[in-house]
Structure 1
Amino acid sequence: MISLNWAGKPLRSKAQMTALKSGTTTQTATVVKAAQIKGVYPTRIKVSDQQIAALNLTHRPISSGIT
């Protein structure tokens, strides 16, 4: 679980966060891979209501699985 891997560890770099994500395991043995993609990406892009409506989004309840 990511939250358990990160517990008490300061997140000082993107590389460190990527490494912690990559070290994540699950109860069902799902393999987690993470990679840092370096680049400059535009911000504050305006997205129209029509563009949002065209996305195939499905709401799913959040379950942390932590007991």
Structure 2
Amino acid sequence: MSRGVRFYEHGTLTYQVPFPDGKCTCVCCPFCYSEHGLERARCRITGEILLYPHTERGQICPIHFSKED
């Protein structure tokens, strides 16, 4: 008799996100989506409601950028 899930194995995803012309804002990210009928954007990774997706990234955006000299 099954009693459901006994445990979860956790994995880590490494994914490169391309931002066109250096515009590193949520609206250019494939994880940003518009919530139909609510006129707001949300992040698929964090679930954060994005206040200014056209001009900045979310407060808890997990994407890190490496500075190249």
Q: Same fold by TM (over 0.5)?
A: no
Q: Which has the higher helix share?
A: 1
Q: Give the structure with the larger strand fraction.
A: 2
- TM-score normalized with structure 2 length: 0.18
